[in-house]
Each structure stands twice: as structure tokens, then as C-alpha cells.
Amino acid sequence: MWESLRFQASACTWIVVMADGIVAHWNNSCGIWNSYVKRRLPGYEAAGIPTVMIEADMVDARFFDKTKITGQLDNFIQSF
């Protein structure tokens, strides 16, 4: 499904990862992280990498909808 390759060049460590898709977490409590997700996902989608974004909150458990998230993940996995 996915493989990773790790190699070192001078003082830097580079990690190259190939994935079938990306699962992103939209965290209602964290605007900084959400701006990162909002900026990155369109680029992945434009490159043909399937994405799914699940919405929850690391502070308020009321935002966790198990049925909705399970359905999103099931549909995402079945799309492969």
C-alpha cells in the first residue's frame, strides 16, 4: 500500500513517502493546524492524491461523530 525510504545527506535526514491517499483531521480547536490543512489538501488533490478530511475537536468531544467519520473512512478506503 505505501512504502517509505529514509536516507541521510550531510546533516539533514530526508524521508520520502509514497501513499495511496491522505487522511486529514480538521481540528475545530486549532486554527493554525486548519490553515495548514486548508493550504495543503488542494495541492494533493491537484496531484491526483485522494484525500479525505475528518472533522473533530481535541477539546470538545461533542464534535466527534463516530457514524459520520466511520462512513467517511469506509468510503475513502473502498475508493481504492
Give the closest residue to 55 by CA, choosing from 40, 72, 78, 77: 72
Q: For the chain, give every domain's residue range.
A: 24-78
Read off the C-alpha cell for 80: 481504492
pLDDT, tens only, 11-32? 555 556 677 888 888 887 877 7
Which parts of the chain sit beneath pLDDT 70?
1-17, 33
CA distance 5 to 70: 30
Got the DSSP string for 38-79? HHHHHHHHHTT--EEEEEE-SS-GGG--HHHHHHHHHHHHHT
pLDDT at 71: 94
Terminal alpha carbon distance of the chain:
10
pLDDT of residue 7: 45
Q: What was the pLDDT predicted at 14? A: 55
What pTM was computed for the model?
0.65
